[in-house]
Structure 1
């Protein structure tokens, strides 16, 4: 049995490998569930009152909390998958965004891939800042600075990251943008989920009739990336990355340190 971070990662790796035109989001949900159970975990999303699925699957202008169903993934779609696992009473939480190839619309695919790439990179900039930050809200500053440097993108303000541990959602809040307060001190024992949600347009959203799925009001495309990160005596370690975040953090001047 492996820990919740790598179990969550395994579920997302399985989904990433399976995403293709013609597959439904419910099929992707079941693939993630099988990967989690095969490693001795259970979906912590299923522990949320009123939610019975293993992942959230958000397609195109759906940003987060998309309910898996019979919706079929099509060429050129931008698909965000958020997954989490509970293993031995500890929680992992992570999200990826995948753009489905479409040879007939290369410009559309490139535009959506850039949105996904900017969102992922902003997450890594936030994680890199966590490694040197004195206070948690410096993470949001780093994310906002990076996103603004990349063009006209919107950072959702209604949905943010969170602490994680014995429960999937714990204090403290983790903002993806500047706020006036400094937030709690960054010190060993802090474990947070850093998860920017970025749109290609405005940041206003609405909740669809299923009472879960959050979509952009202007119909713009959206992306969502997330990692769970631990601060410990030796530094930081990305719990939901196989290498602890080493490859992605190296260009940003950060070397993650395994937890002893």
Structure 2
């Protein structure tokens, strides 16, 4: 790795400062990293780096616009005892390429932050949209939902992520309720109507800490159970589904029994 590589900035610790252009001109050995100065505002790093062990760390540092960006900070201790921080902006590698939302890796990175409420969101009948209208239409559905979730995150204290496929996650420092999801559901349905995609809706499962767990894995697992139950109930429940199957066959005939067995 070359010291002038424009993806990296080498900074001393603990006096971590981003030199301004004027400071760099006055200091003969100070160099301003173009990529770093584009992404970050000058000033001291807001993280207490000195207590970290040597090696890589993935914090979020505020960018020039104030947006937290994912960075890889690699600390090393020199033979004379000084410490060096190599800071790489890796924010783009933690974004979903289709929707621009933070991806599963970013969610795992942020899992160390206190999360009280979580919603796991799944687009209804997404496979049918792909099969009937093509994957380009499916991508438009995902992009539309991602824009709504990103808007909700910008206007509140929510954090939106795309797990993969048609699954999304909303995290909040407070409990989430159906009232929090209802406006998003209405907006998504209206957006789908404008795109000419019928029956645009999503299902969701909610989880809350500490009642449903105190780890991200436990909250996601509980929310997934709630999501599955919600989808089943919206289709009329298991009893209704069995009734529909029974209505399609004549179980008094051997062939009817075979048909029922195949359907189940």
Q: TM-score, normalised by structure 1?
A: 0.26
More strand by share: 1
Kindly name which structure, 1 or 2, has the bigger radius of gyration based on alpha carbons.
2
Q: Relative contact order: is structure 1 or structure 2 higher (C-alpha 8 Å, sep ≥ 6)?
A: 1
Structure number with the higher helix fraction is: 2
